[in-house]
Structure 1
Amino acid sequence: MAVRASREIVIDAPPEAVLDAIADIEAVPTWSSVHKHAHIVDRYDDGRPRLVKVTVKSLGLVDHELLEYHWGRDWVVWDADRTAQQHAQHGEYTLSREGTATRVRFDITLEPSTPLPHFLIKRAKKTVLTAATEGLRGFVLAGKGSLQPE
């Protein structure tokens, strides 16, 4: 059964700064408690990550994922190959300018490889949503997100 979660926040920064922070993949473990390691395998011609290997830990379970990213002017999406812990994953950030700030919507859908009790799903959702939104906000506001091709 697929698990879906979403959250919206406003970050006091322009959309370009938010996308640059998201694109700084190798820094993700510094602001996301779920991510233990992130490495860019391949980039698009503009420097944005295309294929990324990550190690994540949630509910005490460690997983290794290969993510394929696609980028737009005000969005980014990724899909994960099948892993030991999940059959599929789709994530996305959608951005919209609000004056000098940016409304950020984060959506994730994943299909665990084994059924999980509701209370564990609820705990995992909270952890992932907090990392993906509040963690991102802190990183952007600290001014640390920047696109730096290898």
Structure 2
Amino acid sequence: MADSTRSSTVVDASPGDVLDIIADLEAYPEWAKEIRQVEILTEDGDGWPDTASFSLDAGPIQDTYTLDYTWDVAEDGQGVASWTLVEATMLKAMDGSYTLSATADGGTEVVYELTVDLKVPMLGMLKRKAEKVIVDTALRDLKKRAEA
């Protein structure tokens, strides 16, 4: 089983506002620099994305892939938005989650966990570095967008 990379940040926005940004998958190319394109393929009955296709360019990892989403979140936005890889060319895992928790001052702690594994051989060091870049960049850019 592949190791995961986990990091967190505190965002000066409510969990509901942060969740709205996370759930707006088609806007990812505007703020998540590695994501080039997103297409929602299916939605659940409440309008949450169920499956989506992504084009990724994260240095050594470039692929087009499909993710299946689970939205285990409360009405106030707290909870877990998670995804698993359905299909890809280069990736054999791109599984992760955002866990959102309200802070005492009205902000949100965001914990991002990601597991990336590739079908092609790549040094573990390069794979972990790419994973860390994806996680750190996503958290930084999410924080920037939520606080704008």
TM-score, length of structure 1 as denominator length? 0.87
Name the aligned partner's letter for residue 54 of structure 1. Answer: F
Percent pairwise identity: 29
Kindly indicate whether residue 96 of structure 2 is the aligned counterpart of residue 84 of structure 1. no
Number of residue pairs aligned between Structure 1 and Structure 2: 142
Matched, 1:124 2:134: no
The one-character-per-residue Cα deviations of 1:48-94 (angstroms, maximum 9, x if unpaired) are 11110100012244211111111022110001124221212211001
- Please, which moves more after superposition, 10-19 or 78-87? 78-87
- What's the counterpart of residue 16 of structure 2? 16
Select between 120-129 and 100-109 the one with higher mean Cα deviation.
120-129
Instruction: Using CA pairs under 8 Å that are at least 6 residues apart, name the structure with larger relative contact order, 1 or 2.
Output: 1
**Match in the other structure for 2:76:** none
Q: Which amino acid aligns with 1:28?
A: Y
Question: With structure 2 as the length reference, what TM-score do the two structures score?
Answer: 0.88
1:145 match: none
CA distance in 1, matches of 2:59, 2:108: 31
Where in structure 2 are the equivalents of 1:84-123 lying within 5 Å? 84-99=89-104, 100-123=106-129
Structure 1 runs of 4+ aligned residues shifted over 6 Å read none
1:129, distance to aligned residue in structure 2 (A): 1.4
CA distance in 2, matches of 1:4, 1:50: 23
Spell out the pairing of 1:1-150 with structure 2 (5 A cutoff).
2-73=2-73, 74-99=79-104, 100-142=106-148
Superposed CA offset, 1:7-41 (max 9, x none): 01000111111111001111111111210101111
Unpaired runs of 5+ residues, structure 1, are 143-150
Q: RMSD between aligned alpha carbons?
A: 1.5
